[in-house]
Chains A and B, each alone.
Chain A
Amino acid sequence: MALTNTGRARILDRIRKAHVAADPTIDGVTVTLDQIYAPIGDPMERFLAECKANLTEVKVTGDLKSSLHAFAELLGPLPVGTLYVQDDPTLRKFADAFAGRHVIWSSTGRAPEDCQAAITLCEGLVAQTGSIVGSSRAGGRGGSIIPPTHIVYATSDQLVPDITTALRKALASDLKNASYFGLITGSSRTADIEKILVQGAHGPVKVAIVLEIK
C-alpha cells in the first residue's frame, strides 16, 4: 500500500533546492489585459454575437410572461420524455410550460440517464465568449451535461464583460465553495474525425438560454 505521502517531503525538497531565476525577457515585461483584448463596447451585443457563433440559441425576453412563452417554444419540438428541472422558486414559476411532461425536480436527485432536457439557472453569463457560468449548484453536475438539451434561464444583470471579471467575481463570492463551476460555451462537440465539426459528442446537442432583460 503506497497510501502515505512519503514522497511529498522529497519532492518539495528537490523543488526548493532548484534555482529558478526570473527571465528578464519573460518576467521583466509588463503586459496588461487592455493590450491583450480589445475593449468590449456593448456586452449584450457581444454576448448575442458570440452565442450565435458558438451555436447557443438565445431567446431574449422582457418579462415573466414572455419567458414562459420562450420556454414553451423551446420545449415544443422536443421528443416526449422526462424533463429534469433545478428545484428553485424561480423555475417553479415556469411550471406551466412543462405541463404534460414528466418532470423530475433536482431536489429528488441527480439528472437521470434518459432525461430529454434539463432546465437550470446559471451563475453568470460572459460576453467575451458567449459563455454560461454553470456550477454544481445549478442542476447539479449532471444537469448541464447528461441530457441532449440544456436550457438555461438567465437575467441580463448576470452578464459580465469578460472571463477575468467572471473569475474574479467567483473567487469573491460563495461560488468558490462549489465543488464544480466553470464556463459552458455552446454545445458538446468534437472534430476528432477528419477535423469535421460534429455537435453532441457526449453532452448536450443543443444549449439554449432564455435571457430575460432586467
Chain B
Amino acid sequence: MSQLSEEFLVAAAQKSADLTHRSTIKRNMDSYDTAVAKGQTRFADWEAARARSAQVKSEGIRNLASLLETFETKIIARGGHVYWAENSEDARQYICDVAQRNNVKTVVKSKSMVTEEIHLSPALEKLGMTVWETDLGELIVQLRKEPPYHIVTPAMHLTREQIRDLFLEKIPDDVHGETHQELVSAARRFLRRAFFSAEMGISGANFLVADAGMVAISTNEGNGRLTTSLPRIHVVVTGIEKVIPRLEDLGVLWPVLATTGTGQPITTYSTLIGGPKTADEIDGPEEFHVVLVDNGRTEVLADEAQQELLRCIRCGACLNKCPVYRQVGGHTYKSIYPGPIGSALMPIFDGVKEYGHLSYACSLCTACNSVCPVKIKLSDHLLENRRKYVAEGDARLSEKIGFAGFRWAAMSAKRFAFFGWAGRKVLRGALAIGLSPHALGPLATWTKYRAVAAVPKDSFRALWRKQNGTH
C-alpha cells in the first residue's frame, strides 16, 4: 500500500466523522443541487444538450491535431505566440522564461486547474515574483496555504466566520466588516492593487476555438477579464484537449458548462480572446502566449479504452454528485483533480502506483456517469484503473492471494460448496467462543462499523432447494 493510499484512508475516516465539515458541504451541495435542477429546466431537452456537448468534444478529440494546428495558425496570425509543452517542467520553464525576460515582478492568475497541475506558482515565486490568485475562492485557499478543495468552488469547505478570521489576519487593512458582501469587498480592494500593478496575467481556458482562433474563458467574478486585460503580458495555460471545432459550438457548450457548474443559464463573463491588443485598440496586453500542455494527455489519447476522458470540461458535476466526495471532501484525495474525474485521471497522469488507490474510492453507483455533461462513463474508467492497478502488481499481497483463492474455489461447484460450508462453520465457531467480530481477518474493516449478521446453517443453494425443490 502506497503512502498516499494510507493517508487517504486516515483522512477519509477523519473527514467523514467531522460533523462540521459534513454540514458545510451538505449546505453547499444542497444549494448546488437546487440550482442545477432549476437550470436544466431552461433546456427543452437536457439529454439532447448533453448528447450534443459530448459530440462536439468527441469531434475535437478525433480531429485533435488538425484543430490545434488551425488554432495555432490563427493565434500566430494575430501576433500571439503558441508553445507546445510536453510536460509540466517544459511548460513551467517556458512561462518562467517569458516572465524573466520581461522583468515581471507581480503576476495575477485567473483560476486554472492546469496551472495547479504543472505547479506553476511555486516556480514563479522561487524566482522572486509575487503571484496572486484572483478568483475569490482561490485567493482564500492561497492565503490559507491550501490546495483548492473543489475544481469550481475552491473554498467550499470554509464558513464565513473562518474566512472573516483569515482576512482579519492576512489582509486586515482591507476588511471593513464581516458580512458576505463586506468580505467580498475586502478581497476586491486587496486584489485591485494587484491587478493594476501586475505585469503578467495568467489564465486557463475553458475551450480553444479552432475556426475563430480564440480562447474561451468563463468567469463570474470578472477576475478573468481583469487578468486578461490589464497586465502587459497575458499567458494562457491549457490542456491540448480543450480544442473544439467551431465558434458556434459554444451556443450549446457555454450554457451546458454554466448549468452543470453552478446552475446558471450562462456564466457572467463568457469571454473570447484571440491575441494581444490590435493597433486600433486602446488597451489590452502587448504580448499574448498560449501554452498547450500535453503532460500525459497524449497517453490518454493513445489508450482506446480511456481516451473519452479527454472530453471532460472540468465542470465539477461528478464531484458534486459523488457520495464518496460528499463524505470525505476534496483535500482527502491529495490530488490536483479530486472526485471521480480525478480518480480516473490521476493514475494516468501521475502513475498507477501513486494514485491507483483512488479508483477504489468509489462504490460504482454510477451517479457521476448520469450527470456528466459530456457523457463520460467514469465508473468504467475507475474499473479499468483497478484492472491496471492489479495488473501492474500494485495490489496488496493479501488481496492477490485472496482473489486467487476465490477464483480457484469458484471454478468448481464442489469446491465452492465445500468452502462455503467450512466458512460458515469457522465463523459460527469463532462467534460462539466470544471472538470479537473486529478480529475477523479480512472482514475486520467491514465489521468495525457494522453488526455481523447471524450466520445461516445452510448454504444459499440448500435454502433454494428446500424452497423450490430444484437447483
Contacts and interface: CB of A to CB of B under 8 A. Distances in A.
B283 A18 contact: no
Contacts of A109: 282-283
B268 A7 contact: no
A11 B220 contact: no
A192 B154 contact: yes
B204 interface: no
A193 B183 CA distance: 9
B95 to A, nearest CB: 9
Given A185-B267, A190-B184, A167 B247 contact: yes
B272 interface: yes
Contacts of A1: 97
A201 B190 CA distance: 12
Contact of A18 (B27, B211, B269, B298): B298
A43 interface: no
A59 interface: no
Contacts of A184: 268-269
A170 B134 CA distance: 29
A193 B180 contact: yes
Contacts of B86: 7, 10-11
B180 A38 contact: no
A179 B277 contact: yes
B251 A202 contact: no
A27 B375 CA distance: 12
Contacts of A65: none
A82 B123 CA distance: 40
Given A14-B302, A201-B222, A203-B221, A171 B211 contact: yes
A194 B158 CA distance: 7
Contacts of A17: 302
A18 B248 contact: no
B111 to A, nearest CB: 10
Contacts of B276: 179
B59 A27 contact: yes
Interface string A3-20: 101011011101111111
A69 interface: no
Nearest to A183: B270
Q: Interface extent on A, as a size class?
A: 35 or more
B185 to A, nearest CB: 8
Contacts of B322: none
Interface stretch (B40-48, B389-397, B447-455): B40-48
B163 A193 contact: yes
Interface in B236-255: 240, 247-248, 250-252, 254-255
Contacts of B140: 192
Interface string B301-334: 1101001100000000000000000000000000
B252 A131 contact: no
Interface string B332-371: 0000000000000000000000000000000000000000
A163 interface: yes
Contacts, number: 272
B31 interface: yes
Interface residues of B, number: 104
Contact of B278 (A107, A145, A179): A179
Nearest to A204: B222
A91 to B, nearest CB: 15
Interface in B174-223: 180-181, 183-185, 187-188, 191-192, 195-196, 211-212, 220-223
A78 interface: no
A186 B288 CA distance: 28
Contacts of B191: 202
B128 to A, nearest CB: 18
A140 B266 contact: no
A164 B248 contact: yes
Contact of A188 (B64, B137, B220): B220
A8 B83 CA distance: 8
Given A26-B55, A36-B43, A141-B229, A202 B265 contact: no
Contacts of A21: 304
Interface in A167-214: 167-168, 170-171, 176-196, 198, 200-204
B301 A14 contact: yes
A23 interface: yes
A106 B45 contact: no
B52 interface: yes
Given A15-B64, A29-B55, A189 B268 contact: yes
Contacts of A5: 82-84
Nearest to B281: A136
Interface of A: 1-3, 5, 7-8, 10-12, 14-23, 26-27, 29, 31, 33-38, 50, 53-54, 106-107, 109-111, 113, 128-129, 131, 136-137, 140-142, 144-146, 162-165, 167-168, 170-171, 176-196, 198, 200-204
Given A180-B274, A193-B158, A193-B183, 20 more contacts: A8-B84, A12-B69, A12-B84, A14-B302, A15-B68, A136-B281, A142-B230, A167-B251, A171-B248, A176-B212, A176-B274, A180-B229, A182-B272, A183-B254, A188-B220, A193-B136, A195-B31, A201-B223, A202-B226, A203-B221
13 contacts: A1-B97, A15-B64, A34-B44, A38-B44, A129-B265, A131-B266, A136-B281, A164-B252, A178-B274, A180-B229, A189-B221, A192-B135, A202-B221
